[in-house]
Amino acid sequence: MRRGLRFIPLALLLLTLLELAVFVLVGRAVGFGAALLLVFAASLLGLVLLRREGMRAWRRFRAAAQAGQPPGPQVTDGLVGLAGALLLALPGLVSGVVGLLLMVPPVRRLTAAGVRRSTERRVSSMVAGDLFGPRRVRVYPGAAQPAPPQPTPTPTPEQPPAAHQPGAAIEGEIVDR
């Protein structure tokens, strides 16, 4: 079991206590009936958005797959939208505010970019390329380093000479489109 997973029950307990404390504070400020109505309305909005975001994510994924494009951007955007709608659907004011923030386009784009970076770190570069498409690489010119001397093997009649000699590594960075 991973180290971080053992803290999930504690995090859920703290989140429940935070939700309860915020509900009591809001209930004292605007009245418990209004606070209860606010939680109910947010949950109802979350359920409606959950259906809409799920269908939207599925349509965008299918369109990308049929067009032969990498589905990664549609998947990450869909996951962030579904997470926001799910947080809105959960009863609670704190989760509702976080869910509502995830539905705001600039926050959604930033979160989707974070999910994408996290996914790219966790999967192999080949899978990331299949999921998110090819990368452009920016190469910086640097000081030429001499290649280490290589012993020259004598070619035998059944083995042709090697056409490619190993060279020095080139420094660069992967640039996202």
Residue ranges making up the domain that contains 61: 9-134
Lowest mean pLDDT among 72-86, 110-124, 149-163: 149-163
Q: Hey, what are 175's tokens?
A: 């640039």
Residue 145 lies in a domain: no
Residue 90 lies in a domain: yes
Average model confidence (pLDDT) for the chain? 82
Residue 139 lies in a domain: no
Residue 1 lies in a domain: no
Residue 102 lies in a domain: yes
* DSSP per-residue string spanning 55-77: HHHHHHHHHHHHHT---HHHHHH
pTM above the 0.85 mark? no
The number of distinct structural domains making up the chain is 1
Taking 60 as the threshold, does the pLDDT of residue 177 lie above it? Answer: no
Residue 96 lies in a domain: yes
**How confident is the model over 60-106, as pLDDT tens digits?**
989 988 888 888 888 889 999 999 999 999 999 999 999 999 999 99
Average pLDDT over residues 135-145: 62
Residue 154 lies in a domain: no
